[in-house]
Amino acid sequence: MTTRTTPCAGSEAAETEVILDLDDISLSFGGVQALESISFDIRRHEIRAIIGPNGAGKSSMLNVINGFYHPQKGTITYEGVVVKAMKPYHAATRGIARTFQNIALFKGMSTLDNIMTGRVNHMHAGLLAQALYIGKNRREEIRNREFVETIIDFLEIQAIRNTPVGRLPYGLQKRVELGRALAAEPKLLLLDEPMAGMNLEEKQDMSRFMLDINEQYGTTIALIEHDMAVVMELSSRIVVLDYGRKLADGKPDEIRHNKDVIEAYLGVAN
Amino acid sequence: MFYREAGDFKTTYKADQAIFPIALDRWFVVTVVLVFLVVVPLLASNYMLESILTPVLILSIAAIGLNILTGYAGQLSLGTGGFMATGAYMAYKISTAFPGLNIVFVLIAAGLCAALVGIAFGVPSLRIKGFYLAVTTLAAQFFLLWLFTRVPWFVNNSISGVPTAPPRKVFGFLVSSADSDPIDRYLFVFIITVVLALVAKNLARSRIGRMWMAIRDMDIAAEIIGIRPLTSKLTAFAISSFYCGIAGALWSFAYINTVEPTAFDINRSFEILFMVIIGGLGSILGSFLGAAFIFLFPILLNVMPGWFGLEISVTLVTQVELMVFGGMMIFFLIVEPHGLARLWSIGKEKLRLWPFPH
Ligand SMILES: Nc1ncnc2c1ncn2[C@@H]1O[C@H](COP(=O)(O)OP(=O)(O)OP(=O)(O)O)[C@@H](O)[C@H]1O
Ligand SMILES: [Mg+2]
A163: containing domain: 102-185
Which of A117, A127, A142 has its CB closest to that of B214?
A: A117
pLDDT for residue B1: 45
- ipTM (interface predicted TM): 0.88
- Do A77 and A14 lie in a common domain? yes
Q: How far is A266 from chain B (nearest CA, A)?
A: 33
Give backbone dihedrals phi and psi of A25, rounded to 5 degrees, phi first. Answer: -80, 125
List residues bridging with A223 in a β-sheet: A49, A191
- Do A181 and A236 lie in a common domain? no
pLDDT for residue B352: 64
Which of A104, A137, A181 has its CB closest to that of B220?
A: A104
Residue B151 confidence (pLDDT) above 50? yes
Using CA atoms, how far apart are residues A69 and A35, in angstroms rounded to an integer? 11
Other beta carbons within 10 angstroms of residue A146's beta carbon come to 10
Query: What is the distance between the terminal CA atoms of chain B, rounded to a whole angstrom?
Result: 11
Q: Which of B288, B245, B284 is nearest to B264 (CA)?
A: B245
Q: How far is the CA of A100 from the centre of ligand 2 (A)?
A: 9
B272-301 tens-digit pLDDT: 999 999 999 999 999 999 999 999 988 888
Listed range (A13-27, A39-53, A220-234, B243-257) with the worst mean pLDDT: A13-27
pLDDT confidence of B338, banded at 50, 70, 90? confident
- B282 interaction partners in chain A (CB closer than 8 Å): 108
Q: What is the mean pLDDT of residues B163-186?
A: 89
Residue A241 confidence (pLDDT) above 50? yes
pLDDT for residue A12: 47
- B207 interaction partners in chain A (CB closer than 8 Å): 119-120, 123, 125, 130, 137, 140
| Nearest ligand 1 atom to alpha carbon A244 | 14
Query: What pTM value is reported for the model?
Result: 0.90
- Do A152 and A23 lie in a common domain? no
pLDDT confidence of B328, banded at 50, 70, 90? confident
Residue B32 confidence (pLDDT) above 90? yes
pLDDT confidence of B354, banded at 50, 70, 90? low
- The answer to whether B207 contacts A100, with C-beta atoms less than 8 Å apart, is no
Q: Which of A249, A220, A270 is nearest to A9 (CA)?
A: A249
- Do A174 and A114 lie in a common domain? yes
Q: Which residue has the higher pLDDT, A263 or A138?
A: A138
A172-231 tens-digit pLDDT: 999 999 999 999 999 999 999 999 888 899 999 999 999 999 999 899 999 999 998 899
* Domain assignments of chain B as residue spans, ordered by start: 21-262
pLDDT for residue B341: 83
pLDDT for residue A9: 40
- Do A149 and A222 lie in a common domain? no
Which of B13, B222, B226 has its CB closest to that of A121?
A: B226
Q: Which residue has the higher pLDDT, A7 or B258?
A: B258
Count of pairs with CB atoms under 8 A, one residue in A, one in B: 100
Q: What is the mean pLDDT of residues A229-250?
A: 93
* Average pLDDT of every residue of chain A: 89
- Do A201 and A151 lie in a common domain? no
DSSP secondary structure letter of residue A11: S
Residue where a domain stops, chosen among A185, A211, A245: A185
Residue A264 confidence (pLDDT) above 60? yes
Residue B88 confidence (pLDDT) above 90? yes
Residue A8 confidence (pLDDT) above 50? no
CA distances from B241 to A145, B82, B110, B116, B248 (A): 31, 9, 10, 8, 10
- Do A47 and A178 lie in a common domain? no
The Cα diameter of chain A in Å comes to 65
Q: Which of B116, B117, B119, B108 is nearest to B75 (CA)?
A: B119
- Do A222 and A238 lie in a common domain? yes
Residue where a domain stops, chosen among A146, A168, A185: A185
Q: How far is B217 from chain A (nearest CA, A)?
A: 5
- Do A175 and A118 lie in a common domain? yes
Residue B345 confidence (pLDDT) above 90? no
pLDDT for residue A5: 38
pLDDT confidence of B263, banded at 50, 70, 90? very high
Residue B319 confidence (pLDDT) above 90? no
DSSP secondary structure letter of residue B195: H
Where does ligand 1 bind, in terms of residues with CB under 6 Å? A 29, 32, 34, 52, 54-60, 101
pLDDT confidence of B67, banded at 50, 70, 90? very high
- What is the number of structural domains in chain A? 2
Residue where a domain stops, chosen among A185, A220, A236: A185
- Do A16 and A131 lie in a common domain? no
Listed range (B25-29, B92-96, B245-249) with the worst mean pLDDT: B25-29
| Probe site for chain A from B196, B199, B207 (most A CB atoms < 10 A) | B207
Q: What is the CATH number of the domain that holds A60?
A: 3.40.50.300
Give backbone dihedrals phi and psi of B74, rounded to 5 degrees, phi first. Answer: 75, 20
Residue B219: closest CA among chain A residues belongs to which residue?
Answer: A106
- The answer to whether A184 contacts B225, with C-beta atoms less than 8 Å apart, is yes
